[in-house]
Structures are given as structure tokens and as C-alpha cells.
Amino acid sequence: METSKMNSDKTKKGVERAGHRSLMKAMGLVDEEIARPFIGVVNSWNTFVPGHIHLNRLAESAKEGILLAGGMPFEFNTIAICDGIAMGHEGMHYSLPSREVIADSIELQVRAQQMDALLFVSSCDKILPGQLMAAARVNVPSIFVTGGPMQTGCCGDQGIDLSTVFEAVGKYKAGKITEKELSQLEECACPGAGSCSGLFTANTMACMTEGLGMSLPGCATALATDAKKQRIAKKSGMQLLKLVEKDLKPRDIMTMQAFENAIRLDMAIGGSTNTCLHLPAIAHECGLTITLDLFDRMSRETPHLTSLRPGGTDSMSDLDAAGGVQAVLEKIKSKLNNKAQTVTGKTVSENLKELKIINPVKNKEVIRDTNNPYHKEGGIAVLKGNIAPNGAVVKQSAVDPKMLKHTGLARVYDSEDAANAAIMDGKIKRGDVIVIRYEGPKGGPGMREMLQGTSAVEGMGLSDSVALLTDGRFSGGTRGACVGHISPEAAEGGPIAALRDGDIIEIDVPARKLNVKLSDQEINKRLKDWKKPEQKLSGYLARYVRLVSSADKGAILE
């Protein structure tokens, strides 16, 4: 194929590069292959994460597409942590920090080897955001193939997923189910490869990738085990070479207009609150700034159109059958930046003109029209007040309507472990507000997710009366009155550090308020006497704590 001067020319052109070519020939390459554009295939495949165990097959299909289009693929791997397996113990300290390691490792590999373009094969919570950050940073033509949702599990006639099992632990602790019934759910909830089947963080970020214009239409919701995903991977490999010809790069696609489109999509589908960390971090790599206020404004303007698990009843396979991300964008197209560019080489509007709804009935059932939404506002709300001056985040679409306004007594814990123990031991009473602090980006460190505790509250039947506040964050599988990302965090002397057992907490989601019934003078008096808890850290986490910003800035490294 005809291309202009390529990055890889620095490693392979001219007599001075004879030694370089000799090393390439040691890998079996011939001159005709060396002459082609060098395409990095960035693959997070491993045998420890269910969302990744099939990515080697997708990578093979993608490489076939690259070869068909005249490129030369070179595959390398990134690390991948499964949040579900890391949940509820010290392993979760490392999940969010891994996002930066992934981005850094890709930058090192790509800059050192001078690749002309990148095809990312990725899945799951921090891996996909880390790869998007890297794509923006190295800014060579790039396209993403996301791994796809897991099939929904089935137990009897009930559709179940990972969050069902976490919630079932709470039911077991409350004596509502037997250990045998819990074991049956454990066996059936996760039937195979793919990202956990609800609209948790992994699948939310796949939708955000398509919404940003960085993956082909239909990619986000195509199931991991569907042959359609293999075909999308192959077509993505072929399309990438067209992006090389056009020199169309990630920062040409991931503009502020594209991020606004992605946030509107997020609000329409009711995605994970973790997007409030990842989209700002990706935007930062593009030289852009996204604030929590933008999320809240978009939420007020964009109706919530789906009822996807964990907050609703439909699955990702239902969304795919209804037309997927593109069908949602079609419903909100009047609010979109329709001229935003995508990896198809076409605009959002041009892509939507080619949209064909295969199942109109499913489309109407799963994705409502804007004049008949599930909620008039989007899935996420940003709260502020004397507990969270810089903001806090709640997935309002997954909150019991009775809990959108709640006043209760604070039950304060200085770690997730202490709070989980109290919840499991039945120490939380109806009406309480659980406060978990020192779990922010610096305090945790690493801003641990709280799925174990929130699921136990749900399973025990308390989510209609108990709220949970934290400077940490929540899994995309969380539902209930769970307010996270409280900024400033406790470890930085934020007001959450001043809270005590018995303080009266007021939550008002519609009014976007989060307050404790204390005077400013009392809060300041308590903070004056506050001492930061000592942290004994080593290795990567010690370096991470010195560099990481607050949650309202996306927990980026500064």
C-alpha cells in the first residue's frame, strides 16, 4: 500500500539500518513484510481474567485483517487485573493504579519500536481506559476492538450475573438463602468468556469507546462468544490501514465534541460512575479538561433511556439485539455533536445514516424514546455540599426512589474492611448512613471499589433505607444510595475526615446536595485537631501516592 513517510522508516530504511533489518529477519520476516507499515497489536490477553481469556482469538482475527489490508502486525501484551477477583481485599489497592502502568508501558513499547499504527484488543475496567490514554498519548492512527460482554448466566428461569452472587452473600448472611443456594448461583452466574454481563464498568467503557468514535459501530455490545465479534476484529484490522493512509489519529477523533457525545451516551444508558474517573483521565491525555460539572450538566439535559443491569432488568445482549450503542445515539442524535469524526472515516451523523435496526420490537422495548424515558435525567448525578465541596458522584438511576432524599445517622469507618465487617456482622441498622473514608486515591491508596459492602447491604434488604458515602469508589455492579468520589478525600484533610458517629447526614440527589448538619466552625474545629493516619507503603503504591490527584480530577498522575 502507498503511504507517506512512516515512523517505522526510522528502524528499517537505509544502509545504516542493516543491523535493524537483520534482527527483524531473525523473527522470520522477509523484505516484502519489512516494507509494509508496522502495526502494533496491543493485546491484554491472559488466562486469569474472564474478560480476557478469549482476546488471543480476537487478536488473530485482527491481525488477519491487517495482513489483508497490507500491514505487518506485531503483537505485544499489557497487564490486566480482574476487579472482581481483586474485590474486598488488599488486591483492590492496585486496580486503579494499574491504569497508569498500562498507559506507560504502551508508550514505552510504541516509542521504542516506532510503530506506525496501533490496534488495541482490550477489555475490562482499568485496562481499556489505560489503553485509551495511551492511544491519545502516542497519537498514531489507532482503532479499538473491545472484548465484548459475557453471556448472561441463568439459574432456573432467572437471569443472573456477578452482582447477583455478591448480593447473594448478603442474603446468606441475613439467613434468606442457604449455603447450597448460594453455591448454585456461584456455579451459574458467569457462564464463560467476556466482561461481566451487566452494564458494569467494563461494558460501560466499551460503550464509551464506541461513543468516542474509537471502535467500529456495533463493537461495544457484540458478545464475546459471538462470531460477529471475530468479524468486527477482522474489519477493524482492515480499517486501520485506511486510517494510516488518511493519517487520522486519536486526537483528531477524541475531541471535546467526542467526549461530550460519550458523556451523553453514558447518561442515556445509565453507565458506571467510574466513567467520572476514566473519561477525564483520557481527555487529559488529549490536552483537554473534563470536570464533574460537565457530567452533571449533561445528565440534567439527557434522559435515561435504558433499564440495564445492575439498576434495571435488561442485559447487554438485550441492548445488542436492540441495536447497541448506535441505536442509543440515534435516539439522542438531536443532542449530539453529529459532525464528530470516528474511526470509520465518517462522522457520527454519517454512521447513523447507515444504521439498520434488525429487531424493531426489541429496539422499542430496550431503548425508550426520549419522550418516554425511564428517568428524565441521566444516570449519574454530581452532589456538592459541606461534606464534598469539590463534588461526589452517585448513580442516581440505580437508587431506590425512596432514597433519593435521605437523612440518617453516620456510622463512620476508616477503611472498607472495617465497614464490611460491620455490615456482615449485622451492626448496620435501617436508616443509617455508612461512611467509609481513607479509601480515596491517596488514602486507600488506589481508591478501592466497594462492591462487597454495597452488595451485602442490597442482599440484606437494607438498600431502601441505608446509604453509603465514601471517598473511594464503587464497582459498576453497585446499586443503591451509594455516593462515592467524595472530594477532597479524607487523606487530604477533606471534610469527610471530620465526620463522627452520630452526625446527621443529609442526602438530596434531586437538589444535588450532600451535607452534614454541622456548622462550618465545628467542621473547621474538628479538622484543626485532625491528624493524617500514617501509611506504611513501599513499591509502586508509595510512588503512586506521591503523584496521584484527587478523584474529581480523574485520579490522574500529576
Which residues are marked as active site? 475
Residue pointed to by grid coordinates 434531586: 510
Residues in Cβ contact with 102 at an 8 Å cutoff, skipping those fewer than 6 apart: 44, 78, 79, 126, 127, 130, 131, 133, 134
Closest CA to 256 of 217, 222, 283: 283
* Helices 292-301, 256-269: inter-axial angle, 10-degree rounding: 60
Provide the phi-psi class of 450: left if phi over 0, else alpha when psi is between -120 and 50, else beta.
Answer: alpha
Q: Which residues have C-beta within 8 Å of that of residue 548, sequence separation ≥ 6?
A: 97, 441, 442, 445, 555, 556, 557, 558
Residues in the chain: 558
Helix (H, G, I), strand (E, B) or coil at 519: coil
CA 53 – CA 234 distance, rounded (Å): 18
Antiparallel, parallel or unpaired: β 142-146 and 117-122: parallel
First to last CA, the chain: 41
Residues 91, 493, 502: CA angle, nearest 5 degrees: 85
Phi and psi (nearest 5°) for 413? -130, 140
Contact 487, 471 (CB under 8 A): yes
State how far Cα 413 lies from the chain centre.
26
